[in-house]
């Protein structure tokens, strides 16, 4: 059963997870002070291959205290530490979703622990439905803004002053310099990159046709069940954010059939190659 909104002992739980990560990283001194992190969405585990072969460290989420573990297909559920461009990077390969029975406070414990370890920049990725009729499955979207319709917020409850302010502003949620670097990297990699707003719903069901019309009318270009909560805790902590959506299916009201999770995973595997190309250009200059 999910914790109540206050999520008792949240600060202690975050620090316990952070201490466990620090202890594991200490075994590989070159990996001990990462400033860049990535969170990988459904079917995007291939991004891990951008890390140098060695040194590399794999930590199962189940081996990090206080961190919930996902049972959703397409999410590896491990933290991978490695090097890019001579600098250490943390990759959260897979994420836990609130629809699995957790609060937003719980599902962001791992990411907030990673911030305590030292991350100052985070690249978020997700699989999303394309609300914008110009988007095709397998294409990428640079997230430039978001709408939170999940019905929850990871900052509900008493504020943990050591982690950030009570009322963080989100008008600058997505870092403009990182976005410019992503655009330039996409051009170098010859990868088409759409731009738009991402809307988060609670899930786990996909949307009705009426909901798709509403979401498009609100100004959203892609829809999914994650990411926004991670942006909120990142900006709360003063961490810079860059985010990409991989469009896995058409989410327009006129689609003949609704999306399936298997379709999302399969198209994630197809489109992941484009994201890997783009990130291969981008990561060495932002690590």
> CA dist 104 to 97, 187, 194, 247, Å?
8, 35, 28, 24
Q: Is the pLDDT of residue 79 over 90?
A: yes
- The total of structural domains in the chain comes to 1
Higher-confidence residue: 40 or 287?
40
User: What pLDDT does 1 receive?
Assistant: 41
Going by pLDDT thresholds of 50, 70 and 90, the confidence category of residue 73 is low
Does 85 fall in a domain?
yes
Does 1 fall in a domain?
no
pTM of full prediction above 0.85? yes
Give, for 130, the enclosing helix (H) or strand (E): strand 121-130
Question: Which residues are within 8 A (CB) of 184 and not within 5 positions of it... i.e. 6 or more apart?
Answer: none
Beta strands in 67-120 (DSSP E): 78-84, 87-93
Full residue range of the structural domain in which residue 191 is found? 10-286
Return the CA Rg of the chain: 18
Does 132 fall in a domain?
yes
Does 282 fall in a domain?
yes
Does 3 fall in a domain?
no
Residue 38, sorted as left (phi over 0), alpha (psi -120 to 50) or beta, turns out to be beta
Q: Cα dihedral angle (198, 121, 282, 225), rounded to 10 degrees?
A: -20
Burial of 208 (0-12, 13-18, 19+ CB in 10 A): exposed
Q: What is the pLDDT of residues 202-225, one digit of tens each?
A: 999 999 999 999 999 999 999 999
What letter would DSSP give residue 122?
Answer: E
Please state whether beta strands 36-40 and 87-93 pair in parallel, antiparallel, or not at all (unpaired): parallel
Q: Which residues are catalytic?
A: 42, 75, 97, 99-100, 127, 225-226, 249, 261
Going by pLDDT thresholds of 50, 70 and 90, the confidence category of residue 259 is low
Does 4 fall in a domain?
no
- State the CATH number of the domain containing residue 172: 3.40.50.1580
> CA dist 202 to 97, 206, 282, Å?
9, 10, 31
Does 2 fall in a domain?
no
Percent over 70 (pLDDT), the chain: 91
Q: Is the pLDDT of residue 284 over 90?
A: yes
């Amino acid at each position: 059963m999910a914790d109540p909104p206050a999520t008792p002992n949240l600060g202690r739980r975050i620090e316990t997870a952070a201490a466990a990560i620090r202890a594991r990283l200490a075994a590989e001194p070159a990996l001990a002070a990462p400033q860049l992190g990535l969170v990988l969405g459904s079917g995007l585990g291939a991004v891990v291959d951008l890390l140098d072969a060695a040194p590399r460290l794999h930590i199962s989420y189940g081996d990090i205290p206080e961190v919930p573990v996902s049972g959703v297909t397409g999410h590896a559920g491990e933290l991978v530490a490695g090097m890019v461009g001579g600098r250490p990077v943390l990759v959260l390969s897979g994420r836990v979703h609130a629809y699995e029975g957790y609060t937003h406070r719980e599902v962001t414990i791992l990411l907030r622990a990673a911030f305590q370890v030292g991350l100052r920049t985070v690249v978020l990725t997700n699989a999303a439905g394309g609300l914008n009729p110009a988007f095709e499955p397998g294409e990428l979207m640079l997230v430039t803004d978001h709408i939170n319709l999940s019905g929850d917020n990871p900052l509900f409850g008493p504020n943990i002053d050591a982690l950030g302010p009570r009322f963080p502003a989100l008008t600058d949620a997505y870092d403009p310099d990182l976005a410019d670097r992503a655009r330039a990297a996409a051009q170098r990699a010859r990868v088409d990159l759409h731009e738009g707003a991402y809307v988060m719903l609670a899930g786990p069901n996909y949307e009705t046709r009426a909901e798709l019309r509403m979401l498009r009318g609100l100004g959203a270009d892609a829809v999914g069940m994650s990411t926004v909560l991670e942006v909120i805790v990142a900006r709360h902590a003063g961490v810079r954010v860059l985010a990409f959506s991989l469009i896995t299916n058409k989410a327009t009201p006129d689609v003949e059939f609704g999306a399936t999770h298997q379709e999302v995973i399969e198209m994630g595997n197809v489109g992941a190659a484009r994201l890997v190309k783009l990130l291969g250009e981008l990561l060495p200059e932002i690590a």
